[in-house]
Structure 1
Amino acid sequence: MIPKKAQSLPKSAKKIWLIHNMIVFVIFLAIGLIINIFLKFNWHSPLVLGVNGLCGIILLLVIGNIILIPYHYRFYKYMLNQEAISIYKGFFLRKSQTIPLNRIQNVDTVQGPILQICHLQNVSIVTAAHAFKIEAINEDVAHYLRDQLITAARQAREVDTDD
C-alpha cells in the first residue's frame, strides 16, 4: 500500500515519458523502413518477414507503454523519512523499493536534453549492491532531495559508528 504522505511526480513527467516513447517509436519505425528499402520490400523473404515481425512487436510494446503512461504516473511515488527513502511503482504489479539511509553511497542528479527543456531531473541513488532512480522531478526538488539524502546518510553513518 502506498502511504498517503508519499510524494507524486510533477505532471510534466507524463510529457517526458511520452516524448521518450515517441522517439523510440520513430527510431524503430525508421529502422524497419530502412531495412525494407534495403531489401527492396521483398515480402516473401524470411529475413524481411522476421525483421518486420520483430519491429512490429517492438512497436506494439512501445504503443502499449504509451497507453500505460497515466497508470505509471498515478502509482509512481517516493517518500523520505528518518531511516530510509522509499520508491513505489505500480498497482497491479507493485514494486516497493526501500533504501536505508545508512547504505547510501552516492546521490546524483541526471538531466538529459529532454528533461532540461522541462526543467526536470532524475535523482540516482547508489548503494553497494544496487542503483535506484526517481524519475522526472522538478530541478529544485531534485537538488533539495539530493541534499537531504546526503545529509541524512551522513548522519545515519555517524549514528552507526558511535556504538
Structure 2
Amino acid sequence: MSAELPAAGDPGAERLADAAVRYWNIRSVIGGASFLAACAGAVLIFRAEWMLFWGPWVVAPVVVLSVLLDVLMLNRVQFRSYSFTVTPEFVYVARGRLFRRSATIPTAQILNVETVQGPLLASMGLVTVRFTCLLDVDGVGPLTADRAERIRRAVLDRRADSEVAG
C-alpha cells in the first residue's frame, strides 16, 4: 500500500512525542544557564568595570527573558508545527509556522538511518532519527524509541528490497 505524497508545506501524518516540548524546554534552560555561567565566569576573571554593569543589568535579564519566551511560547509553537510521514516510498518532514520548511526524501536515496540518543534524550525515553543522503542529512525527532525503530526498519527494509530488485 502506497501513501500519497503530501503537497509541499502540508502537515505530515504523524507528530512528535508529547515529551518533545519538555525536552526542548530543558535544553533552553540548560543553554541559558550555561551562557549566564560563562558570563559570570568572564566577569570574575576579567573584573572589568563595564562588565559589572552590563552583566547583571543587561545581559542576564535578556537571557532570562529569551529562555522564558522559548519555554512559554516558541517551543510549543515548534511542537505544534512539526509533523512527518514515513512510508516505504518516502520520508516527508514539515516544520515551522511562519517560515514553513518541508522536505521529501525518497527512501531509495537514503544511504543510512541513524538513531541518536544523548543523556538528556535517554533520561526522557526519547530518540532522534537522522536520515543521511548524498547531499544532506535530515531528521525526525524527538520520538519514543519504539517509534524511531519502526521508522528506521521501514526505511531500511525498503532500501534492502530496492537493492535486491535492482
State TM-score, norm by structure 1.
Answer: 0.83
Shift of 1:43: 1.6
Distance 2:137 2:102 in 1: 14
**Which SS does the other structure have where 1:68 is aligned?**
helix
What is the letter of the counterpart of residue 11 of structure 1? Answer: D
Pick aligned residue for 2:21 from 7, 14, 39: 14
Question: Residues 80 and 30 of structure 1: is their aligned pair in 2 closer, same or farther, counting only changes over 3 Å?
Answer: same
Greater relative contact order: 1 or 2 (C-alpha under 8 angstroms, separation 6 or more)? 2
- Which letter maps to 2:26? I
Count the aligned residue pairs. 156
Secondary structure at 1:70 match in 2: helix
Question: Which amino acid letter does the alignment assign opposite residue 89 of structure 2?
Answer: E
The answer to whether 1:38 aligns with 2:45 is: yes
Deviation at residue 83 of structure 1 after TM alignment: 2.1
Q: C-alpha root-mean-square deviation of aligned residues, in Å?
A: 2.6
Quick one: distance in 2 between partners of 1:80 and 1:129?
A: 20
Change (3 A) 1:31 1:127: same
Q: Please name the residue that 1:138 is paired with.
A: 144
CA separation in 2, counterparts of 1:40 and 1:111? 39
* Residues 28, 55 of structure 1: 8 Å contact kept: no
Q: How far apart in 2 are the matches of 1:32 and 1:54?
A: 8
For structure 1, list consecutive stretches of 5 or more residues without a partner in the other structure. none
- The percentage of counterpart residues that share the same residue type is 24
Structure 2: give runs of 5+ residues left out of the alignment: 1-8
Q: Confirm or deny that 1:81 pairs with 2:54.
A: no
Give the Å deviation of 1:44.
7.3
Normalising to structure 2: TM-score of the pair?
0.81
Match of 2:6 in 1: none
